[in-house]
Amino acid sequence: MSTLLKEISTDNLTFDINSSQQFATVMFTRDEDKQVVLITIFKDGKINQLEGNNKYNPSKRRSSSCVYVREENDNAVIKICTIQHKGTTLLEIHKVTSDELNYLFGETL
**Taking the domains of the chain in order of start, what are their residue ranges?**
19-105
Q: Is the overall model pTM greater than 0.85, yes or no?
A: no
Please answer whether residues 69 and 80 qualify as being in contact, where contact means their C-beta atoms are separated by less than 8 angstroms.
Answer: yes
pLDDT at 103 over 90: yes
- Measured between alpha carbons, how far is 89 from 98 in angstroms, rounded to an integer? 27
Query: Beta partners for 52?
Result: 37
Helix and strand totals (H; E) in the chain: 1, 6
pLDDT at residue 35 in the model? 83
Tens digits of per-residue pLDDT, 3-42? Answer: 656 666 767 666 565 556 889 999 999 887 788 899 999 9
Q: Is the distance from CB of 69 to CB of 20 less than 8 angstroms? A: yes
CA 43 to chain centre: 13
**Tens of pLDDT along 40-82?**
999 999 999 999 988 999 988 889 999 999 887 777 899 999 9
